[in-house]
Structure 1
Amino acid sequence: MSFTKLQSANSLVKRLPVSLSNPFKLLRHMHWRRFFRRLFRNTLMSLWMYPIALFFAVIFGYPLVWMVYSSFKPTRELVKNVWALPTNISFDNYDELIHNDTFLNYYQNNLIVVLVSVPLLTLIAAMAAFVFARIRFKGSTLLFYMFLAGTMIPVHVTLIPLYTMLRDLHWLNTLTALIVPFISFNLPVSIFILRDFFSKIPTELEDAARVDGCSSARIFWSIMLPLARPAIATVVILSAVSAWNEYLFALTFIGANNDAYTLPLGTLSMVSALGITHFDRMFSVLTMATLPILAFYFIAQREIIKGITAGAIKG
């Protein structure tokens, strides 16, 4: 009886499709189908994604390349053919800039503004963000939203009150007139970035440090700041780029003192004289002003991505 049942079951299995009678063949078949489907989908996406990415790379990258190679061309060659590559590479423009005390003074002022404002901004924003993220007190949420409301205030509507205040403080036509307003206007965004990162650090680390007798200041310096390096790097890089390119505050608050000119403000006076624009000098000045911040960005772009995407994945 058992032999008859076994024989009937065997004949039933033989009548089944191959994929059902052999599960290993079924799995192998599904694996190859999934593989070819994924390969086809990736290939199809590449066919239209890469050309689009290349198109935008050329659109956004070519002006920088054009600016660099045009800086090696004399004015006569620039006027003859603006878009052509230089036939005779000339370093006269850069040699003139390196030996130009006025340009070096503009460069020095730019470095002073960046090297003073960025560390102060980062330190103040990190301390404020730590307080908002870890220390609960009455009105902390309201105070944080008041800071965020500062991002909605246009800079232009504050120029006249700021000018009056800086004049009363005798800070006009000095680099202090750039550093203090720059820090004030960039604090809200910096606090927002750092607070979001601090709030995602596990509280168990802070609790363990308090058990060991650490104060809030020690926790901030020894635990929070090292862990928040990606977010701090993001704040440093974004604020450094903004400080290096600051033009509106420089034009409004130090426009009457040529010795306090920064690079964005001094570039216009260097490339134009008596209404005549020296294009060869303009391209060399722009290249010298752009390359440092571009190099700084490319070196630290990995930290920017880490800081921006930190906390994007839950858990």
Structure 2
Amino acid sequence: MKRSISQILGRTGIRIPLILWSIAVLYPIFWMFVGSLKSNAEIYRNPWGFPETLNWQNYVQAWSNYNIDTSVFNSLIVTLVGTMLTLVLAIPTSYAIERLQFRGNRFLFTLYVSAMMIPMVLGWIPLFFLLMDLNLLDNIFGLAIVYAVSQLPFTIFVLTSFIGTIPRSLEESAAIDGMSPYGVLWKIITPLSMSGIITVTIMNAIQFWNEYFMALIFLQNKDNYTLALAIDFISSEAQYTNAWGTLFASLVIAIIPVIILYAIFQQRIAKGMTEGAIKG
């Protein structure tokens, strides 16, 4: 009896902080969604209450008047291109570092890991002039390249831990059957590392979708703005036009894809990170 009571108290002591933390995280999101359905008068009159009528006009104004539709498209392009480019560069590099024996492969891996500790802010000014020389400044594809390079060390670090646990006998058997090294990489190593690939893909995609500072530095034309920059513009405008409902609506538009993506793949993300930690 005493043991069961102590177990209940122990579980309660763990659950109460988690419940409180969940409320602290979810309530601002809920309040933002409720605010996106209010008129400006309702927001000022009763900021914490429910809307009297559902005002979907805020979403229409955000989508059309503030060009959120263009910004969503730009963010989608940057996220897709950046994510795919990261994988195209990281998968062969991870395989070469982990499997191929050449002078300096451990040093190269250490160099990539060390790059994870260098703040990206230190490279913003050189990158600005480099993109300007390459005529990629104020270009969403240039921004996608910067994103891909910035996440390359992290992606390689994760993928090498997965590739390192794949039995070498599978590669040797494929080589005996006449498969080329490229065939081994793309037909054997890549499918067996799919948990790690999915994990880094989703984490990189969320990072690229939400990124703000590099987009602010490398993009100048409003037609090239990503979603984060468009929301920042609406936020500055809301101070003078009282478009708070429109601001809330744009924030909801920004977070819905992230929530859906994470909800669909949360088990794969948790599984991939757990396997990566064990395999590493």
**Following the alignment from structure 2 to structure 1, what is the Cα–Cα distance between the partners of residues 261 and 68?**
21
Match of 1:266 in 2: 230
Quick check: 1:229 aligned with 2:212? no
Contact 1:193 1:235 in 2 (8 A): yes
2:206 to 241, 247, 254: 241
Match of 1:251 in 2: 216
1:188 to 153, 158, 172: 153
Shift of 1:87: 2.1
* Equivalent position amino acid for 1:206 in 2: E
1:111 to 72, 76, 80: 76
Structure 1, unaligned runs of 5 or more: 1-35
**Following the alignment from structure 1 to structure 2, what is the Cα–Cα distance between the partners of residues 61 and 73?**
19
The alignment of Structure 1 onto Structure 2 pairs a total of residues equal to 279
Can you list the C-alpha shifts for 1:276-296, whole angstroms capped at 9, x where unaligned? Answer: 142111100000011111111
Shift of 1:311: 4.9
**Following the alignment from structure 1 to structure 2, what is the Cα–Cα distance between the partners of residues 253 and 147?**
24
Q: Which has the larger displacement, 222-231 or 207-216?
A: 207-216
Contact 1:68 1:287 in 2 (8 A): yes
Structure 2, unaligned runs of 5 or more: none
Contact 2:72 2:227 in 1 (8 A): yes
| Structure 1 residues 1-315: aligned runs within 5 Å | 39-40=4-5, 42-100=7-65, 102-255=67-220, 257-273=221-237, 275-276=239-240, 277-313=242-278
Sequence identity percentage: 33
**Following the alignment from structure 2 to structure 1, what is the Cα–Cα distance between the partners of residues 24 and 233?**
29
**Following the alignment from structure 2 to structure 1, what is the Cα–Cα distance between the partners of residues 28 and 101?**
49
Q: Secondary structure at the match of 2:136?
A: coil
Shift of 1:246: 1.4
Can you list the C-alpha shifts for 1:55-98, whole angstroms capped at 9, x where unaligned? Answer: 11101111111111111011111111211122222111112234
Q: Secondary structure at the match of 2:67?
A: helix
Shift of 1:212: 2.1
**Following the alignment from structure 2 to structure 1, what is the Cα–Cα distance between the partners of residues 261 and 3?**
38
Q: Which has the larger radius of gyration?
A: 1
Shift of 1:312: 4.2
TM-score, length basis structure 1: 0.83
Shift of 1:210: 2.1
Over aligned residue pairs, what C-alpha RMSD do you find? 2.0
Q: Which has the larger displacement, 82-91 or 110-119?
A: 82-91
Shift of 1:131: 1.0
TM-score, length basis structure 2: 0.93
Contact 1:177 1:254 in 2 (8 A): no
* Equivalent position amino acid for 2:61 in 1: E
- Structure number with greater CO (CA < 8 Å, separation at least 6) is 2
Cα 1:129–1:38 change in 2 (3 A) is: farther
Contact 2:116 2:153 in 1 (8 A): yes
